[in-house]
Amino acid sequence: MGLFSHDVGIDLGTANTLVMVPSKGIIINEPSVVAIHRKTRKVLAIGADAKRMVGRTPANIVAVRPLKDGVISDFDVTEQMLSHFIRQVHNRFGNLPKPRVVVGIPSGVTEVEKMAVRDAARNAGARACHLIEEPMAAAIGAGLPVTEPTGSMIVDIGGGTTEVAVISLGGIVVSQSIRVAGDEMDEEIVQYARQRHNLLIGDRMAEEVKIAVGSAWPLTEERMATLRGRDLVSGLPRVIDISSVEIRDGISGSVNQIVEAVKSTLEATPPELVSDLISGGIALAGGGALLAGLDQRLSHETKMHVYVADDPLTCVVRGTAIVLQEIELIRKVEVPEQYARPIRAG
């Protein structure tokens, strides 16, 4: 075992938090959800247990996603969630020397929020905490040549945010972050069911159907799915069949906004780097990258080669683990306390 064998890489995502110990693999992969008692503010559950409570909580319990919009809405809760996950690592591996921690954070997070994340990691026992921006971590995890003098583009479609970035020489040259990603698609499916079918469904149902038959480009064989909800007219439970064509139509607003973010980032990219992108293509990461046909749609719109990175849901955490193992890389890619801001497209 190496000197840093218990260091941990963390993907603090808007939808999912993943923790990886480079020598052990990914050891935590849980929803970024915390269930809290409304009055006492006591944390009742974290992760998968808390997500099961979403939409099902009695009046005195609330299930919150502290990073839902790519900003930390609640420092306290975020800190408790982070501590909980770091402590689980401690519990799994016994009495450990204080780990070094690399955390991938949404790029919209402010300086104050970054401080909160560093504090949370240190309070949870970390010896040192380095922050890297999610698109950088995703690009590293996707195997892009981020430190080379060549441009690479990563599009990370998560739950709350889509981050588009062009990276070269270890830095983000152009980037854009929009608050449209998987959650917005779910929300659009809820609206669609209500408006077109008079059916009230929950977010979880919408997400299930999106994952099952959602798409951004015509499928070779269109499919059917089942929506269960409540009829808005009769007030009674109702089950309907819905086609993948309808779901595609339903989520087209979100998909179009993601396409526009990619296009406007390309427009803001310096020409030399654009020519690199033409040869290297565009890599998709995050859970949204798994939306069927999103690569084809983006390829059609940009006339570039677009591909889904290997295991897109784990790119960010694998990126943080790679950074941990290559001490030199930390210096190159971490977010310094003060830094020159990249060009913001859009």
Answer yes or no whether residue 182 interacts with Mg ion by CB under 5 A. no
Which strand (E) or helix (H) includes residue 211? Answer: helix 203-213
Q: Choose the contact partner of 268 out of ligand ADP, Mg ion, none; CB within 5 to 8 A by kind.
A: none
Positive or negative: CA dihedral 260, 265, 271, 274: negative
What would the x/- binding string for ligand ADP be over residues 257 to 286, using CB under 6 A? -----------------------------x
Cα separation, 36 vs 85, whole angstroms: 16
Exposure letters 273-297 (e unless 16+ CB within 10 A, then b): beebbeebbbbbbbbbbbbbbbbeb
Three-state secondary-structure class, residue 177: strand
Please choose, out of 23-31, 210-218, 260-268, 279-287, the segment that lies near Mg ion by the rule CB under 5 A.
Answer: 279-287
> Which is nearer to Mg ion, 251 or 313 (by Cβ)?
313
Q: Choose the contact partner of 290 out of Mg ion, ligand ADP, none; CB within 5 to 8 A by kind.
A: ligand ADP
Cα separation, 275 vs 292, whole angstroms: 27
From residue 273, how far is each of 152, 170, 228, 281 by CA, in Å?
A: 8, 14, 48, 11
Positive or negative: CA dihedral 163, 168, 170, 173: negative
Question: Residue 182 CB, nearest distance to ligand ADP (Å)?
Answer: 2
Answer yes or no whether residue 182 interacts with ligand ADP by CB under 6 A. yes
Among 210, 248, 297, 318, binds ligand ADP (CB under 6 A): 210
> Which is nearer to ligand ADP, 101 or 273 (by Cβ)?
101
Answer yes or no whether residue 193 interacts with ligand ADP by CB under 6 A. no
The residues facing 242 across adjacent strands are: 225
From residue 346, how far is each of 188, 211, 298 by CA, in Å?
A: 23, 29, 18
Q: Contacts with ligand ADP in 2-61 (CB under 6 A)?
A: 13-16
Q: Contacts with ligand ADP in 139-168 (CB under 6 A)?
A: 158-160
User: Which of these, 161, 118, 167, 117, lies nearest to 140 by C-alpha position?
Assistant: 167
Among 9, 66, 287, 319, binds ligand ADP (CB under 6 A): 287
Q: Choose the contact partner of 182 out of Mg ion, ligand ADP, none; CB within 5 to 8 A by kind.
A: ligand ADP
Answer yes or no whether residue 135 interacts with ligand ADP by CB under 6 A. no
Answer yes or no whether residue 13 interacts with Mg ion by CB under 5 A. yes
Answer yes or no whether residue 314 interacts with ligand ADP by CB under 6 A. no
What would the x/- binding string for ligand ADP be over residues 289 to 308, using CB under 6 A? -xx-----------------
- 211 contacts: CB under 8 Å, gap ≥ 6: 290
Q: Please check whether residue 157 is in contact with residue 288, taking contact to mean a CB–CB distance below 8 angstroms.
A: yes
Question: Residue 173 CB, nearest distance to ligand ADP (Å)?
Answer: 22
Answer yes or no whether residue 78 interacts with ligand ADP by CB under 6 A. no
Q: Which residue has the tokens 């309808």?
A: 246
Residue 338: other Cβ atoms inside 10 A: 6
Contacting positions for ligand ADP (CB under 6 A): 13-16, 158-160, 182-183, 207, 210-211, 214, 286-288, 290-291, 313
Contacting positions for Mg ion (CB under 5 A): 13, 158, 286, 316
